[in-house]
Structure 1
Amino acid sequence: MDWDKLRVFHAVAEAGSLTAAGESLHLSQSAVSRQISALEETLQTVLFHRHARGLILTEQGELLHEATDIMWRRLDTAAARIRDSKDEAFGELRVTTTTGFGTLWLVPRLAKLYEQYPSLKIDLILAERVLDLPMREADVAIRMREPSQADLIRKRLNTVKMRLYASPDYIERRSSPENMDDLSQHRLISQAVNAPQVSSGQSLLETLYSAGVTSSLTVNNYYGVLQGVLAGLGIGVLPDYLVVDFPSLVRVLPDVESQQIPVYLAYPEELRHSKRIAAFRDFVLSELSETARLTAAAE
C-alpha cells in the first residue's frame, strides 16, 4: 500500500474529520478526500462512515487503524533511537506516573533537569491507570509497584511508607489522637479502601477503618488528600516523602505506618540505549536519594 495514503488515513482516523486532518498535514480537504477514496478503492472497502458531525471508522477502518497505529509508534521509536545516537539528550520524553507523585514530587523538581538538559521536552502524563509502555503510550514510567508488562527494563528506585499527618491548625483545634481508638473522634482523609493502590497501602487503610472511624473524606489521588489535610479537614494518609516539601505537616500516631512500598522506574527494552531515558533515570535517582535523606532527617 502507498505510504502517503496510509499517512493521510491515519491522520483522518485520529482527527475524525477531513478538515482537521488536512490542517495537520498541510493539505487541502479535497486532497485528503482524494487520498482516502483512492485507498478505499485499493482495498475495495469502505473505511469511514460519513456523518454530519464527522467521520467514524467502519469495522474495516478500525482494523487498518490498529495497524497504522502500531506502525506509527514503531516509527516514533526508531526516530527516538536515531536522535539519541547523538551525544546530548534532547527531544521529547513522554513520562507517566500517578497524579499524586507527579504533581507533588516530580513537577517541583523538573527545573533541575531542564537546567542540565535545556533541549529536553517533557510530556508528563499523570494517570492512575498503567499505560502500555511496549506500545509506546509513554517512554518511561514511575510506579509504586513493579510493572508486570513484558519487554520492559525495570529499576527499583526507592521505597515509600504511608503515614498519618495533620496540619498544625487541626492539632491545635482537635488535639492529636494518642492511640488507634482515638481515631473514631477524628475525620480520616485518604484514598478509598477499594481504590486501585498497592496492597500495603490498602492494608493500612483497612486497619485504620477497623478502629471505628465515623467520619471520612476519600479522594482518588494524594494531591487531593494533601489539600484536605492542609485545609484542616482531618487526619490524612499520605506518603512520607511529602514532609520534605511540606515541613509543617505534623505526624500523627508515629507507630502507625504501612509496610515499605517500592518505587519502580520502567521503560521499553528498545529504549535501553536512549540518552533521554538515561538522563531522566539518573535525575530521578539523585532526587529520590536526596528526598530519602531529608525524610529520614525529619523523623
Structure 2
Amino acid sequence: MDWDKLRIFHAVADAGSLTHAGDRLNLSQSAVSRQIRALEESLNTTLFHRHARGLILTEQGELLFDATRSMTKRLDAAAARIRDSEDEVFGELRVTTTTGFGTLWLVPRLPKLYERYPGLKIDLMLEERVLDLPMREADVAIRMKEPSQAELIRKRLMTVQMLLYASRDYISEIGEPKELEDITSHRLICQNTNSAQVAAGAALVQHLMTYNPASLLTVNNYFGVLQGVINNLGIGVLPDYLVEDFPELVRVLPQIESADVPVFLAYPEELRQSRRVSVFRDFVQEEIIAHRKQLRLMGKL
C-alpha cells in the first residue's frame, strides 16, 4: 500500500475536508482528491461519503483511519525516541495541564528548566479538557485527578486544596471575616460552578453561596480569580499552591477548606525512555519538593 497516499488519507480523515487537508499538506485540493480516488481504486472500496458540509468516513474508511491513527502514533513515538540524545536534550515536548496550574505554578518555574536545557522546546497546552495521551494529543499531562487509561505511566505529585484568601490591603480596608456567616459582608471571587474545574472547588463554592455573600465576581479560571483578589476586590477561592509565590495573600476563615485534590503527572508507556519526558518529570518533581520545603519554612505545612 502506498505510504504517501495513506498519509494524505489520514490528513483528510482527520480534517474532514479536502481543502483543509491540502492546507496542512501544502497540496492543492485537486491533488489531494486525485490521491484519495487512487487509494479508493487500489482498495476497491469507497472511503468517504461526500456531503456539501464535508467528508464523512464510510465503515471501510473508519477501519483504515483506525490503522493510520495507530501508525501515526507509533511513528511519532519512534521519532521522539530517535530525536532524544543520551547527552543532550532538545526538540519539542507537548505538555498539557489546567489553565490555573499552568499559568500560576508551572510557567514561573520554567526558566530554570530552560537554563539547563536551552534546546528544549515546550508546547504548553493550557485547558480544562483532558487531552488523550495514548492518542498523542500531548506527551505529558499534569492533571487534577488520577488518569484512567491503563497504558499510562503516572506519578502522584502532591495534594491541593481550595482555600479562601484576601489581600492584606483588602483586610486593612474592609476587615477580616471571623465566622463563615460574615461572608454576607464581603464580595466572593470564585469560578462559576458551571465552569470546568475540579469537583472539590465547585463543591466549596456551592457551600459558600448558601451564606449569601454581599457581592459576587465569577471568573472561568483561577488566574482571573487571583487577579481579582490581589486587586482588592474581595475574598477569593484559590488553590493553596499559590501561597509561596504570592506572599501578599492572606488566608481567611482557615476552618474552611475543600476536599483534597490529587495532582498527577502522566505520560504514555511508549515514552518511558524519552529523555525529554524524563528531564521534565524530574524537574517538576524537584520543584514540588522545593515548593513543599518552602511551605514548611513558612509554617504552611
TM-score range with shorter-chain normalisation?
0.7 to 0.9
Q: Secondary structure at the match of 1:77?
A: helix
Q: Cα offset for 1:11?
A: 2.6
CA distance in 2 between partners of 1:254 and 1:46 (Å) = 61
Q: Which position in structure 2 is the counterpart of 1:230?
A: 230
Q: Deviations over 1:13-65 (max 9, x none)?
A: 445554554454454554433212201222331526265x8x42343545543
Contact 2:47 2:58 in 1 (8 A): no
Q: Which moved more, 1:67-76 or 1:122-131?
A: 67-76
Q: Which position in structure 2 is the counterpart of 1:45?
A: 46
CA distance in 2 between partners of 1:19 and 1:268 (Å) = 32
Contact 2:189 2:236 in 1 (8 A): yes
Q: Which position in structure 1 is the counterpart of 2:295?
A: 295
Q: Deviations over 1:103-142 (max 9, x none)?
A: 1111121111111111111111111121111221111111
Q: Secondary structure at the match of 1:133?
A: coil
Q: Which position in structure 1 is the counterpart of 2:119?
A: 119
- Letter of the 2:229 partner, please give it: V
Give the alignment's TM-score, normalised by structure 1.
0.88
Q: Cα offset for 1:165?
A: 1.0
Q: Which position in structure 1 is the counterpart of 2:253?
A: 253
Q: Secondary structure at the match of 2:256?
A: strand
Change in CA separation of 1:292 and 1:62 when aligned onto 2, cut-off 3 Å: same
Structure 2: runs of 5 or more not aligned: none
Q: Cα offset for 1:212?
A: 3.5
Q: Secondary structure at the match of 1:42?
A: helix
CA distance in 1 between partners of 2:160 and 2:296 (Å) = 11
Query: How many positions carry a matched residue from both structures?
Result: 297
Q: Which position in structure 1 is the counterpart of 2:140?
A: 140
CA distance in 1 between partners of 2:279 and 2:227 (Å) = 32
CA distance in 2 between partners of 1:178 and 1:270 (Å) = 52
Q: Which position in structure 2 is the counterpart of 1:171?
A: 171
- Letter of the 2:286 partner, please give it: S
Question: 1:29-44 alignment to 2 at 5 Å?
Answer: 29-43=29-43, 44=45
Q: Which position in structure 1 is the counterpart of 2:4?
A: 4
CA distance in 2 between partners of 1:148 and 1:50 (Å) = 36
Q: Which position in structure 1 is the counterpart of 2:129?
A: 129
Say what the alpha-carbon RMSD is for the aligned residues: 2.5
Q: Which moved more, 1:62-71 or 1:152-161?
A: 62-71
Q: Deviations over 1:167-211 (max 9, x none)?
A: 233223321111111011112111234554444434433442333
Q: Secondary structure at the match of 1:82?
A: helix
Give the alignment's TM-score, normalised by structure 2.
0.87
Contact 1:240 1:295 in 2 (8 A): no
Change in CA separation of 1:244 and 1:71 when aligned onto 2, cut-off 3 Å: same
CA distance in 2 between partners of 1:19 and 1:244 (Å) = 50
CA distance in 1 between partners of 2:88 and 2:140 (Å) = 18
CA distance in 2 between partners of 1:46 and 1:254 (Å) = 61
Change in CA separation of 1:132 and 1:250 when aligned onto 2, cut-off 3 Å: same
Q: Which position in structure 1 is the counterpart of 2:210?
A: 210
Q: Secondary structure at the match of 2:254?
A: strand
Q: Which position in structure 2 is the counterpart of 1:68?
A: 68
Contact 1:189 1:234 in 2 (8 A): yes
Counting aligned pairs with the same residue, the percent is 65
Change in CA separation of 1:218 and 1:121 when aligned onto 2, cut-off 3 Å: same
CA distance in 2 between partners of 1:200 and 1:191 (Å) = 12
